[in-house]
A and B are shown apart, each in its own frame.
Chain A
Amino acid sequence: MERVDALLNSFENPKTIFQRNFSLGKRRAVVLFHPDLSDTYTLRSILRACAGKGSKDASLYDLLTDILVVSEAEIVKESEAVNHILEGDAVIFLNGIPDCITVNTKNWEKRSITEPPTETVVRGPREGFTEDFKTNITLIEKRLRTRKLAIEKFHIGRESHTAVGVCYIGGIVRPGLVREVVERIKSINIDSISDSHYLVPVLEERPYSLFPQVGTAEKPDAIASKLLEGRVAVVVDGSPIVLTVPFMLIEDFHSGEDYYERNSFATFLRVLRLIAVAFAVFLPGLYVADLTYHYEMVPLKLLITVINSLKGIPLTPMWEILFIMLLFEIIREASIRMPKSLGTAMSIVGALVLGDTAVKAGIISSPGVMIIALSSIALYTVPAIVGTTSLLRILFTLVGGLGGVYGLLLASIALVHYLASLNSLGTPSLAPFAPFISGDLKDGVVRAPLFSLKTRPEAIGSPNKRRIG
Chain B
Amino acid sequence: MISTEKRISTAQLFALVFILGMSLKMMMLPVLLLKSCGRDSVIAMFVILVAELVCLAGATAAIALSPQKSFGQLLKATVGKIAAKIIFALMAAMFFLKLLLLSGEVRIFFAENLFTEFPWCVYSVPFFALTTVISIGTARAIGRTAQFLFPLILAATVLMLFLIGRGVDFTEVLPFGEFAARDVAADSLRYAMWYGDYSALVVFLGSVKRSRKTVAISMISGVTASAVVLFFTLGLTASFSNVCYIIHFGQNVTGMSHYALGNIMQGRIDLILFCVWMMSVFLKGGMFAYAAAYCIRAIAPMNRTLPALILGVTLFVISCFIPSATGLHTVMADYVAIPAIAFQFAVPALMLTVSLLGRRRERKGEECERMGEDCEQINERECAEDDDA
Contact = CB atoms under 8 A, between A and B. Distances in A.
Given A299-B267, A404-B115, A417 B275 contact: no
B300 interface: no
A409 B272 CA distance: 11
Nearest to B271: A297
Contact of A434 (B127, B133, B144, B286): B144
Interface residues of B, number: 39
Contact of B114 (A299, A404, A416, A428): A404
Given A413-B145, A434-B145, A436-B11, A301 B275 contact: no
Given A406-B110, A409-B275, A417 B123 contact: no
Given A296-B268, A420-B148, A430-B148, A410 B126 contact: yes
B337 interface: no
Contacts of B282: 409-410, 413
Interface string B270-314: 011001001100110010000000000000000000000000000
Interface string A298-311: 11111100000000
Nearest to A406: B110
A426 interface: yes
A434 B147 contact: yes
* Chain B interface mostly: helix
Contacts of A297: 267-268, 271-272
Contacts of A419: 148
Contacts of B145: 413, 416-417, 420, 434
Contact of B123 (A403, A413, A414, A416): A403
B127 A410 contact: yes
Interface string A10-40: 0000000000000000000000000000000
Contacts of B286: 413, 417
Contacts of A406: 110, 114-115, 123, 126
Contacts of B328: none
Contacts of B275: 405, 409
Interface in A72-107: none
A293 B123 CA distance: 14
A407 interface: yes
Contacts of B130: 410, 413-414, 417
A307 B138 CA distance: 45
A114 interface: no
Contacts of A417: 130, 133-134, 137, 141-142, 145, 286
Nearest to A294: B114
Interface in B328-370: none
Interface string B40-79: 0000000000000000000000000000000000000000
A359 B308 CA distance: 48
A305 to B, nearest CB: 13
A124 interface: no
A436 B126 contact: no
Interface in A378-425: 403-407, 409-414, 416-421
B246 interface: no
A428 B265 CA distance: 43
A433 interface: yes
A417 B138 CA distance: 10
Label chain A's interface by main secondary structure.
helix
A294 B275 CA distance: 12
B114 A293 contact: yes
A52 interface: no
B171 interface: no
Contacts of B271: 294, 296-297
A435 interface: yes
Contacts of B5: 426
Contacts of A302: 267
Given A296-B268, A410-B282, A416 B149 contact: yes
Nearest to A408: B275
Nearest to B116: A293
A294 B267 CA distance: 10
Interface string B102-134: 000000001000111000000100110110011
Nearest to B106: A406
From A301, A412, A418, A434, residue with most partner B Cβ within 10 Å: A434
Nearest to B151: A433
B137 A298 contact: no
Nearest to B272: A297
A292 to B, nearest CB: 10
B251 to A, nearest CB: 12
Nearest to B127: A410
Contacts of B123: 403, 406
A299 B261 CA distance: 14
Contacts of B82: none
Contacts of B9: 435-436
Contacts of B114: 293-294, 404-406
Contacts of B389: none
Contact of B147 (A410, A414, A433): A433
Interface string B1-38: 00001000101100000000000000000000000000
Interface of A: 293-294, 296-303, 403-407, 409-414, 416-421, 426, 428, 430, 433-436
16 contacts: A296-B264, A297-B267, A404-B115, A406-B110, A407-B126, A409-B275, A409-B282, A410-B282, A420-B144, A421-B137, A428-B144, A430-B144, A433-B148, A434-B147, A435-B144, A436-B11
Give 4 nearest A-B pairs by CB, closest first. Answer: A420-B144, A434-B144, A434-B148, A421-B141
Given A430-B148, A435-B144, 13 more contacts: A296-B264, A296-B271, A302-B267, A404-B115, A406-B114, A413-B130, A413-B282, A414-B129, A420-B142, A428-B144, A433-B148, A434-B148, A436-B11
